[in-house]
Amino acid sequence: MTKKSNAADHGIFISLLILIFWLPLPLGSNRPWAWAIMEVWIFSLFIAWLWKYRRGLVNPTQVFHKAKLIIAIFILWLIYIAFQCIPLPFSIVELLSPKAAEIHTLVTGLPPVTATLSVIPHITTVALLKSISYVLLFVLILLVVNRRKRLRWLAYALVLSGLFQAVYGSLMTLSGLEYGFLIQKIHNLGLTTGTFINRNHLAGYLEMCLAVGIGLLIAQLKDSTSATWRQRLLAFFNWLLSDKMRLRLYLAMMVIALVLTRSRMGNTAFFASMLIAGVIGLVLSRHATRATIILLVSLIVIDMLIVGAWFGIDKVADRLEQTSFASEQRDEVDIYTIPYWQDYLWTGSGLGTFAQTFPSYQQHDVTGFFDHAHNDYLEFGAETGIIGMLLIGVSVILSFIMALLALYRRRDPLCRGIAFSAVMGITAILIHSTVDFNLQIPANAATFIIILAMAWIANFLGSHNHG
């Protein structure tokens, strides 16, 4: 990668960093106008990169070439979602999805000549555009994060975005002002939501940002070679005044905000993923230091016992203890989503159509309107069927494997730290997704995609790319 090439895509990279900070601001980008901005932003950056490539100013990176398998899977995913929207002969729809054929017949009164696998194709088209933007974001990250310096900047952009959400949300809660994104909050009063609407979605976002921050901290650790207690004490004070201490404070602030969300699974997913990633990292890494072990232990002990206790982790524990199937409707929604999925078993009802399809399966013991299942696995299954679940599931598993391989193979501290971040971030969202719909929120879905891309970069970024 030449200096000329680096300068050519510098603006694209900076724009990506700004996008990362922007995405959670407008209500998690979970409004049509907000995700339209995201799509136009990403499409524009990708077109700009292609234009520079055509002029010979930039070239695909080594990581991009190594990641062709997952890019191919993502393209198959997009083709599959497009296939849900394309009018097909009615006999084919009857064969592939009898329930979808039945719905189309009910709408028209007679069996139509053509129909789509999606029960509401224009909604699935909207979801397809979002999916295209996520895939292009993944590709852009691989194309422009071509040096260790840029990888560090990318990680810090996520940490600083999480820090802003944490500080802003905590101040709103502790001061009683209760403002979200330029408007006064109506829901989740007394709970930290940042600029998101739902506290659980802020929790999901913070889980990923914390994972990246912990990875950065691990990347900066070194075992002390001090022989005497005086030398060790001096090294300790030097650490207190270092950039690592500043990063540690950032993480503490995000943990405070996470606790203040009172999100049960958000807090559970964070601490569980940190333990799981810690164990995996220590088992796989041939270059793990004693400092890494001390850091992970301190994160758990200090954050849980000091920060958590001061800001109310006991209230989160109380919510967990008081949780019962009788007081929750999420489990009934999940239960009624199962026959919904069974009716659209292989090809789904169409990506994005849960809100319109679920009411016909909703029973009297579930009141209110549900635009999403409180379980990402069930929602993706119901909307895209077994075929869609396999495609999206394989892409996540492949990325997780890349992160594990990086932990095992790489000697570069930054790449090992980012690999740890990917393992922890992926694990946290996979846990949280069992009871929530973080991956339906554009800001969180885009951040998850970035972490998947970081796993590939951690494994394949060349050791010579230091600039």
Domains: count for the chain: 1
Amino acid identity of 60?
P
Q: Does residue 170 lie within any of the structural domains?
A: yes
Q: Does residue 80 lie within any of the structural domains?
A: yes
CB 133 within 8 A of CB 42: yes
d(CA 311, CA 307): 6
For residue 109, the enclosing domain spans 3-223+242-460
pLDDT digits (tens, 9 = 90+) for 136-148: 999 999 999 999 9
Task: Show pLDDT as tens, one digit a residue, over the chain (467 residues).
Answer: 445 556 789 999 999 999 999 999 999 999 999 999 999 999 999 999 999 999 999 999 999 999 999 999 999 999 999 999 999 999 999 999 999 999 999 988 888 999 999 999 999 999 999 999 999 999 999 999 999 999 999 999 999 999 999 999 999 888 888 877 778 877 778 888 999 999 999 999 999 999 999 999 888 876 454 556 665 556 555 655 567 888 988 998 998 899 888 888 898 899 899 989 988 988 887 655 566 666 666 666 666 555 555 555 555 455 555 554 444 566 788 899 999 999 999 999 999 999 999 999 988 777 778 889 989 999 999 999 999 999 999 999 999 999 999 999 998 999 999 999 999 999 999 999 999 999 999 999 999 999 999 999 999 998 766 65
Q: Does residue 23 lie within any of the structural domains?
A: yes
Q: Does residue 228 lie within any of the structural domains?
A: no
pLDDT digits (tens, 9 = 90+) for 297-309: 666 666 655 555 5
Q: Does residue 205 lie within any of the structural domains?
A: yes
Amino acid identity of 10?
H
Q: Does residue 356 lie within any of the structural domains?
A: yes
Q: Assign 150 to helix, strand or coil.
A: helix
Please report the pLDDT score of residue 232 as a whole number.
58
Q: Does residue 234 lie within any of the structural domains?
A: no
d(CA 235, CA 114): 73
Please report the pLDDT score of residue 47 as a whole number.
97
Please report the pLDDT score of residue 228 as a whole number.
61
Q: What are phi and psi of 224, to 5 degrees?
A: -75, 135
User: What pTM value is reported for the model?
Assistant: 0.91
d(CA 131, CA 125): 10
Please report the pLDDT score of residue 7 as a whole number.
75
Q: Does residue 288 lie within any of the structural domains?
A: yes
